[in-house]
Amino acid sequence: MESEKGTLPMNEVYNPGMNVYSEIYRKSLEDPENFWAKQAEILTWYSKWNKILDDSKKPFYRWFVGGKLNVSYNAVDRHLEQHRRNKAAYIWVGENGEEKIVTYDGLYRRINNLAKALLNLGIKKGDRIVLYLPMIIEAPVAMLAAARIGAVFSFVFAGFGAGALAERINDSKAVLLITADGGFRNGKVVELKKIADEALEMTSTVRNVIVIKHARNDVNMVEDRDIWYHEIVGDSHTYVEPEHMDANDPLFILYTSGTTGKPKGAVHSTGGYSVWVASTLKWAFNPDEDDRWWCAADIGWITGHSYIVFAPLILGLTSIMYEGSITYPEPDRLWEIIEKYRVNILYTSPTAIRTLMKFGEKYPQRHDLSTLKVLGTVGEPINPAAWKWYYEIIGNSRCPIIDTYWQTETGGFMIAPQRGLGLPPLKPGSATFPLPGVDPAILDDAGKEVRTGEKGYIVFRRPWPGMLMTVNNDDERYVKTYFSKFPGYYYCGDYAVKDEDGYYWLLGRSDEVMNVSGHRLGTIEIEDAIVATGLAVEAAVFGKPDPVKGEAISAFVVPKDANADRHELISEIRKRIRADLGPIYVPDEIRIVKLLPKTRSGKIMRRVVKAVALNQIPGDLTTLEDSTSVDEIKSAIEAFK
Ligand code: PRX
């Protein structure tokens, strides 16, 4: 950490306006009632709340209690009256270079049309809808149409497989699925409808499937269940009165990996979440009215929900939306889009930067990137080499890098440099300071605050408006996961350290969760899926440091049939994980072993597998049941060399 200080020309991104930040931050903690009452004016409310924060049922905090609003109204309708009718809400770019500009008025019409079609299908306020869509305009349209009529949507990332989709449909008890025939990725069509059909075999709640024609691949339409989108949404000028939703009605459920095999459905609120995402985007990036904002994430993840859809639309911005791979057809795709559409703010992940860095400077140098003024990252700690490349080569040493630390559950940014409140001098790899209302602490195992410079668990000592309300159908898991390790405090599951200047440095997960290319994947989820193939009796999965992905998935597997051909077995396991969970879950390496290290009570000691595999000291082995298992791991590694 020390050595990284002063290695970059920080003065160029230094703005002595830190005082504004300190003042606002102090107010947010000293007088949260007034602070949030004022901040909530970022939205238009049908009726105001009667209480800013109800904490009578801790840790089930409720914000803006009694307030009424509609998010689709806030994201679209109100802009029509504010001279943004013909402003582009989205500039959509397809992988094949196709482009579509959708104005606020165009978005408004699409949302109303779909909202009407949903009502015609009998969808009511409170019903659950699953969206399994590629990066197409209909994705934000579907999210906002659901919000308009008060239906709760759950978006399932289009890279997930049939098993993962089915699990989310079942957990959310969705009555409707909206999908597309297919999406594009690296020049190929991903057959989403086909995967959805497989998932629907494993579910029973879905009454109808709306299918968007996009990739034009052949699909099977099931009679009385499946409906073409274009056949139910005409382009007539329909108007659907937005439902007056309670601030604490759920807006959406988004599943994320945890420390068990079952993903958790984080439930986000209508009011608090919307105030939070719009405020945090403004504080951290401070976009101007005419800026072109590009959050280059997928809508299926929280980054896309909050910063491709809700925050930029609530603020009335113009966003770029791109469907496809960042290296297709060539590794200058991102730079080409920035030049062509004169993008001002780019927000992406360290893994994307490292991927593009590999191809060298010649790709960005082919393009005029001079419109860029701010850069951002999310998903994992950014290593100084990637920071430097991003800062110097992409930002031409002019653009501050807004490193945003947050999670699916937090709804929006928690720790980040805040351009809107005065940037601090940046330190590559540090997310710097908390946002207003965020009260972090770093604790040791005993729950005591660590000293400056010491590593510990990062927690938040008080609630904030964007926090999840609960885990879908599982209040107990909500309490256990987030509020039991350090009672009263929200536990993030990350390690962090605070330096002598008060900067926060995030140091990665402190639980059984991996961070693979900025995606949060549960080790146990993958182990369960490997065993569920029927080809293995047990498996241990862990994240192995990887220069591009951050972590790569490594699996040690005990086969059911000890005599099975290893190569065939490995490729079959890969194939089945891809179909069940999705391509991002496929282990980068699978090694076959006869046994795994376990405790005497039979628990697999993942930490021992990881340490031995990485040639580290495995720590305490006294609870190990059979010490030959350690040699097994060693010889599996040897065999592979
Ligand atoms: O470990 C942290 C890491 O990503 C986790 C959250 O993952 P997810 O819920 O999928 O959301 C990703 C997008 C917000 C965190 O617990 N993480 C995210 N951003 C950063 C980060 N780690 C360090 N620095 C960041 N900027």
**ipTM, 2 dp:** 0.99
- The model's pLDDT over 414-449, given as tens digits with 9 standing for 90+, comes to 999 999 999 999 999 999 999 999 999 999 999 999
Cβ of 303 less than 6 Å from ligand 1: yes
In the prediction, which pLDDT does 3 show?
A: 35
Would you give the end-to-end CA distance of the chain in angstroms? 33
In the prediction, which pLDDT does 13 show?
A: 45
φ, ψ of residue 99 in degrees (nearest 5): -135, 155
**Distance in Å, CA 352 to ligand 1 centroid:** 14
Residue 41 has pLDDT above 90, yes or no: yes
Residue 320, token pair as written in the block:
């770029």
Query: Dihedral angle at the C-alpha atoms of 473, 479, 482, 485, nearest 10 degrees?
Result: -150
Residue 343 has pLDDT above 90, yes or no: yes
Sheet holding 456-460, edge to edge: 440-443, 456-460, 490-498, 504-509
Share of the chain above pLDDT 90, in %: 89
Task: Pick the range with the lowest mean pLDDT from 81-85, 194-198, 626-630.
Answer: 626-630
**Distance in Å, CA 266 to ligand 1 centroid:** 15
Residue 266 has pLDDT above 90, yes or no: yes
- The model's pLDDT over 464-493, given as tens digits with 9 standing for 90+, comes to 999 999 999 999 999 999 999 999 999 999
Sheet holding 470-471, edge to edge: 226-228, 208-212, 176-180, 128-132, 152-155, 250-256, 264-269, 470-471
Cβ of 506 less than 6 Å from ligand 1: yes
In the prediction, which pLDDT does 639 show?
A: 64
Protein residue with least CA distance to atom 18, ligand 1? 379
DSSP-derived letter for residue 470 is E
Residue 14 has pLDDT above 50, yes or no: no
Cβ of 550 less than 6 Å from ligand 1: no
Protein residue with least CA distance to atom 10, ligand 1? 520
**Distance in Å, CA 608 to ligand 1 centroid:** 25
Report H helices in 286-376: 302-304, 311-315, 333-341, 350-357, 362-365
- The model's pLDDT over 209-255, given as tens digits with 9 standing for 90+, comes to 999 999 999 999 999 999 999 999 976 789 999 999 999 999 999 99
pLDDT class of 636 with cuts at 50, 70, 90: confident
Cβ of 490 less than 6 Å from ligand 1: no
What's the mean per-residue pLDDT of the chain? 94
Protein residue with least CA distance to atom 4, ligand 1? 379
The ligand 1 atom at the shortest distance from the C-alpha of residue 506 is 23
The ligand 1 atom at the shortest distance from the C-alpha of residue 493 is 16
* Secondary structure (3-state) at 584: helix
In whole angstroms, what is the distance from residue 433 CA to residue 32 CA? 18
**Which amino acid is located at 160 in the chain?**
F
- The model's pLDDT over 166-180, given as tens digits with 9 standing for 90+, comes to 999 999 999 999 999
**Distance in Å, CA 458 to ligand 1 centroid:** 12
In whole angstroms, what is the distance from residue 350 CA to residue 367 CA? 21
Protein residue with least CA distance to atom 5, ligand 1? 407
To test the pocket of ligand 1, the residue of 406, 432, 433 to mutate (highest count of ligand atoms within 8 Å of its CB) is 406
Whether the CB-CB separation of 453 and 424 falls below 8 Å is answered with: no
The three-state (H, E, C) secondary structure of 122-181, written as one string: CCCCCCEEEEECCCCCHHHHHHHHHHHHCCEEEECCCCCCHHHHHHHHHHHCCCEEEEEC
Q: CB neighbours of 211 closer than 8 A, spacing ≥ 6?
A: 179, 180, 181, 193, 219, 221, 226, 227, 228, 229
pLDDT class of 617 with cuts at 50, 70, 90: confident
The closest of 267, 272, 327, 320 to 296, measured between CA atoms, is 320
- Residue linked to tokens 């709340």: 49
In whole angstroms, what is the distance from residue 155 CA to residue 168 CA? 9
**Distance in Å, CA 355 to ligand 1 centroid:** 18
Please classify residue 262 by burial: count the beta carbons closer than 10 Å to its beta carbon, then call 0-12 exposed, 13-18 middle and 19+ buried.
Answer: middle
What number is the average pLDDT over the span 288-308? 97
**Which amino acid is located at 208 in the chain?**
N
In the prediction, which pLDDT does 553 show?
A: 97
What number is the average pLDDT over the span 141-148? 98
In the prediction, which pLDDT does 640 show?
A: 53
